[in-house]
Structure 1
Amino acid sequence: MPKIKDVIVYPVYAEASSALSGYLPFSSSIEGAVRRGYSSCFVKVVAEDGLYGFGECWVREVPQATAEIVERLLKKVILGEDPLETEVIWEKMFATLKNRGYSRGHLIEAMSGVDIALWDLKGKILQRPVYTLLGGKFHDKLKAYASSIVFGKPEVMAKKAREWVDEGHDQIKVKVGMGVERDAENLKAIRNEVGGNVEIMADANSAYNLSNALRLARYLERLEVRWFEEPLPSYDLKGYIMLKKKVDIPIACGESLFTVYDFKDLIENCAVDIIQPDIVRAGGITGCSKILNLTKAYNLFYSPHVGLSGAGCRAATIQISTSTSPETFLMYEVYDIKESPNPFSNYICVEPVEKFSKGYISVPEKIGLGLEINEERLKHFLCK
């Protein structure tokens, strides 16, 4: 069996035509913290016979830092390893980080991208789609929702919701977090525009404390909102436990957590209804498989986060979702800002990873992740 010969990193950045951040409470005084571009770090793992796999690391800022972690640390761990032994390599990488005191942050995000690349390579070696290696195919297509309607005047947000519905979406996610009264006004306008047959999800990106989250949750229930996402910071475990006990609306959380060890407390304390790991942050395919097993054991729903990430995240998320049973899998997130498209989603691909039609994403039949990167286009965005 050919061993791993090389690891190549592509830290990339592209300017956006408008700010990408959600609401920041001090944005007027910390203008430099407002996100104004797309960042990512792609990883290419090459075997001795020339076959290779691509992965992606979660990056919101400073992609060079993530690339350095892969290049200077994780590459040393995996060179010479058997690329089929994804679990062994994952444990070696995690032990390397854990023994240095790291179980979160950039280092786990870097490890996630390496793991995804290994699964892509593994699928190519075995000439099988990754979902087959994960146990099989439960879905020919994945139910998908549109994300996200960003902050604006109520009539502007309602107009955007109407556009998405006209494009074939019957489930849409809306940003909240501007204050209970303003959020309520925005959501009421959207509900009035799209009617009762369209499901709405509300995403607060950790904006609230327990008191205000509880106030907004009760209003969301009256509007029949499908779920309330990240109402509190992910570190507020007691807040989540108390909120879930007091409301009927399903509570979702997970995009800000790292590995199964973060999710364990949330799940075992029955603090949420819907688990939302992001595969490029939560340990890659191997790491998310561990989270999924715990999610199934507690009979919760899995609705993966994608957000501002690129094609590597989306391809890997489609594969693991395809192999997740209908009793656990809820919905796939189609994140698209048409006014400022993410070039790392489709432009760098030979063909798009996501193919949306009538509320669903189709599942590719190709080997590996079904991902083919145009490396010349990718190199165009390399950080200087």
Structure 2
Amino acid sequence: MKISNIVAYPVTVPVPLDHQVSLGIGRMVKRDTVIVKVTTDDGIIGWGESHHARAHLAIATLVNTTLRQLVTGFDATNVNGVWSQIYRFQLASHGMGAACAAAMSGIDMALWDIRGKAIGWPLYRLLGGASRSVPGYAGGICLGFQPPAALLDEVASMVQRGFKAIKLRLGESPASDIARVSAVREAYPELDVLTDANTAYSLRDFRTVAPHLGAARVGWLEEPFPAHDYRSYREAKAMCGFALAGGENHFTRFEFAQLIDAESITILQPDLSKVGGISEAIKIAAMASAQRLPIHCHSSMGINMAATLHVLSAIENAGYFEADCSVYNPLRDDLIDFSFDVDANGTLRPSDKPGIGIEVNEDFIESHTGYSGPGFV
């Protein structure tokens, strides 16, 4: 069963004005992604998703040229061999590029989908796991910058769906961030409130908001600073009593080894569509397990979310599943047949279908060809 073809499709979906959410990296005006289709010589098709990295046309081109040339003809079940081939000839020799890590993620994900389909097993079982309940939080592109009253209405809808945890977007200004977090905590004393600043804070901002986040008993503050600003993370950790989270913008186990060694971030958030795929996420989870650190994967879009739920069902140190609760997300609702139901305990389970367990609407891909321009303004 050899890889006979690999095709990456850049996909773009504009977001209507009334569904545009503002957060620390801007206001979302369109959703981009890269869908990767891998076909074997005996006709099995695997699907994966590469993060757009704000350059989805370039990511797709990298898959369709260099990476396809490197691994076509490989045994499709040899996921470690494919990963090593790309690492040797691209990452190791030309630098730890984020574009290559994102591009190879989609290929790796599709190969795991093929393995599951070939044997008839769901991905979680193939990874050595079981169908088990995974706690979820309402996240993704939602709960953004808005007046506290409007935010409370949105939180109420998440709680009604069964979520016991939600993630608020910070980074507008210290004053407005404090007001929103305080309002949610006052209204929901028992809710697990997580926060994400999307790298928008300075240390001065952090010093201002930290006492209030502590008083609100937030579960974590995610990415207050850029991913590699280790000094700011060290200083921040020394002045707060809540956990710092990060990892969605770290690539491969080699960068996660540095992140773990820095001992500032204790909530690790690899993204399967960025970090190097499912293969790399499993290695990172094992590294983290040795340090008693939990894995709370970052996820959104569509195929990536479905695969993430399987991975969290398979690893021993799984934390929260990030459920994208955007009101408008065709990559979740129309591109694939994935849906998540939250039970009374705020938990979810992966699909029992073979592989990742999703069907892909190729007509949707054809009618939403990727185009250039920023996703956030």
TM range (shorter): over 0.9
Matches within 5 A, 1:84-123: 84-123=77-116
Assess if the C-alpha contact under 8 Å between 1:43 and 1:114 holds in 2: yes
- Unaligned 5+ segments in structure 1 are 28-33
1:14 aligns with 13
Is 1:245 aligned to 2:212, yes or no? no
1:126 aligns with 119
Matches within 5 A, 1:189-268: 189-193=183-187, 195-268=188-261
- Post-superposition offset of 1:383: 2.8
Aligned partner (choices 128, 132, 137) of residue 140 of structure 1: 132
Q: Deviations over 1:290-343 (max 9, x none)?
A: 211111111111111013x2x210121111111011xx21110111221xx111
Q: SS at the partner of 1:238?
A: helix
Q: What letter is aligned with 2:367? A: H
Is 1:352 aligned to 2:343, yes or no? no
Q: Deviations over 1:348-379 (max 9, x none)?
A: 22x32433333222221111111211212222
Whole-Å separation in 2 of the counterparts to 1:229 and 1:294: 20
Assess if the C-alpha contact under 8 Å between 2:4 and 2:73 holds in 1: yes
1:70 aligns with 63
2:165 aligns with 171
Q: SS at the partner of 2:23?
A: coil
Assess if the C-alpha contact under 8 Å between 1:20 and 1:37 holds in 2: no
Whole-Å separation in 1 of the counterparts to 2:340 and 2:192: 21
Whole-Å separation in 2 of the counterparts to 1:41 and 1:60: 10
2:374 aligns with none
2:348 aligns with 361
Q: Which moved more, 1:176-185 or 1:59-68?
A: 59-68
Q: Deviations over 1:197-222 (max 9, x none)?
A: 11111110111122322332221110
Assess if the C-alpha contact under 8 Å between 2:145 and 2:170 holds in 1: yes
Q: SS at the partner of 1:87?
A: helix
1:30 aligns with none
Q: Deviations over 1:86-143 (max 9, x none)?
A: 0111011122222452313222111100110011011111221222222222x52211
Structure 1 pair 353–53 and aligned structure 2 pair: CA distance change class (3 A)? farther
Whole-Å separation in 2 of the counterparts to 1:65 and 1:20: 25
Q: What letter is aligned with 2:290? A: A
Assess if the C-alpha contact under 8 Å between 1:213 and 1:232 holds in 2: no
Structure 1 pair 313–180 and aligned structure 2 pair: CA distance change class (3 A)? same
Whole-Å separation in 1 of the counterparts to 2:22 and 2:61: 25
- Post-superposition offset of 1:20: 4.4
Q: SS at the partner of 1:69?
A: helix
Q: What letter is aligned with 2:85? A: K
Q: What letter is aligned with 1:143? A: P
1:312 aligns with 303
Q: SS at the partner of 1:125?
A: helix
Q: Which moved more, 1:102-111 or 1:248-257?
A: 102-111
Assess if the C-alpha contact under 8 Å between 1:13 and 1:37 holds in 2: yes
Is 1:184 aligned to 2:175, yes or no? no
Whole-Å separation in 2 of the counterparts to 1:20 and 1:158: 15
Whole-Å separation in 2 of the counterparts to 1:3 and 1:214: 55
- Post-superposition offset of 1:68: 0.6
Q: Which moved more, 1:161-170 or 1:221-230?
A: 161-170
Q: Deviations over 1:12-33 (max 9, x none)?
A: 1010013345235xx7xxxxxx
Aligned partner (choices 337, 343, 346) of residue 326 of structure 2: 337
Q: Which moved more, 1:41-50 or 1:223-232?
A: 223-232
| Higher relative contact order (CA closer than 8 Å, sequence separation 6+) | 2
Q: What letter is aligned with 2:312? A: S
Whole-Å separation in 1 of the counterparts to 2:97 and 2:119: 32
Assess if the C-alpha contact under 8 Å between 2:135 and 2:320 holds in 1: yes
Aligned residues: 366
2:24 aligns with 23
Is 1:152 aligned to 2:134, yes or no? no
Whole-Å separation in 2 of the counterparts to 1:103 and 1:21: 31
Q: TM-score, normalised by structure 1?
A: 0.91
Whole-Å separation in 1 of the counterparts to 2:365 and 2:342: 23
Assess if the C-alpha contact under 8 Å between 1:145 and 1:171 holds in 2: yes
Assess if the C-alpha contact under 8 Å between 1:226 and 1:249 holds in 2: yes
Whole-Å separation in 1 of the counterparts to 2:275 and 2:339: 21
Assess if the C-alpha contact under 8 Å between 2:6 and 2:39 holds in 1: yes
- Unaligned 5+ segments in structure 2 are 372-377
RMSD over equivalenced CA pairs, Å? 1.7
Q: What letter is aligned with 2:169? A: K
2:273 aligns with 280
Whole-Å separation in 2 of the counterparts to 1:191 and 1:292: 31
